[in-house]
Amino acid sequence: MNVLATLRPPGDAWEELGDIEVGQLAPRDDVEILIVANEPVDLDWFPALRLIANFSVGYDRIDIEACRRRGVAVSNTPGVLDAAVADLTMGLLLAVRRRIVEGDAAVRRGRWEQGWSESPFLGREIGGSVLGIVGYGRIGKAVARRAAGFDLEVIYTRETPLEELLARADIVSVHTPLNAETTGLISRERLALLRDGSTLINTARGAVVDEDALVDELESGRISAGLDVFVHEPHVPERLYGLPSVVLTPHIASATHETRAAMTRIVVDNVLAFERGEPLVTPVA
């Protein structure tokens, strides 16, 4: 089958597909399989398309219903990102609460300011804090396991109503997928429920949170945040750049050699299964 990929993912498994064309999405009448990284696909460009193998667990930018109507199968890469995303979540949590990025920047500027009583880098303790997890699936559970090692009290949305969780938690970590029900889930009104001095961590999808409302809250200095995702990536709201209370990363939650290679393995397995006429390993549609 004729395969077009918009990326060359890492990992030895890729070689099993042979000589795959890597290029940009453009109208083609010969492409039967697309390998993309959660990118919108204009199905009219690819009349012969039969499979979209998505190099991502999230598929919110792919029109699944349109694919179903056109008979185009879709797969994704679930189950192998859990540890990497949970690790970055904890990294952001620690970086924000202990002001690690601010301290690093000060040292690099040659400013060593450590007053014991009025240090500019007084952070907040992790142990004993309440961590509220919004979205208690595989990744949320992986975060909870790590949080136990830091003596965090964990509450989550399956057992605690969202509004109560936001009002109780010292740290809120978002791990819900993006869909029609979760878009804007953390609204302006719900952000207002966060306690003064609390921290929001988002390694899920930017649009789960009302981004304008979040920036307003962060500018007020009332809360802090660690953000790996944004609504209009790669655009990041410029108002965030000058805020020391925010740690920003460029959607790298799954960016480890091990995880990306495992994702490639799943993509390849789905493509090979489809070519053999077998069921997809991880079907979405």
Annotated catalytic residue 145: no
Catalytic residue among 102, 124, 251, 275: 251
CA distance 122 to 38: 40
CA distance 262 to 258: 6
Annotated catalytic residue 257: no
Annotated catalytic residue 251: yes
Catalytic residue among 189, 233, 258, 278: 233
Catalytic residue among 190, 205, 260, 265: 205
Q: Which residues are catalytic?
A: 205, 233, 251
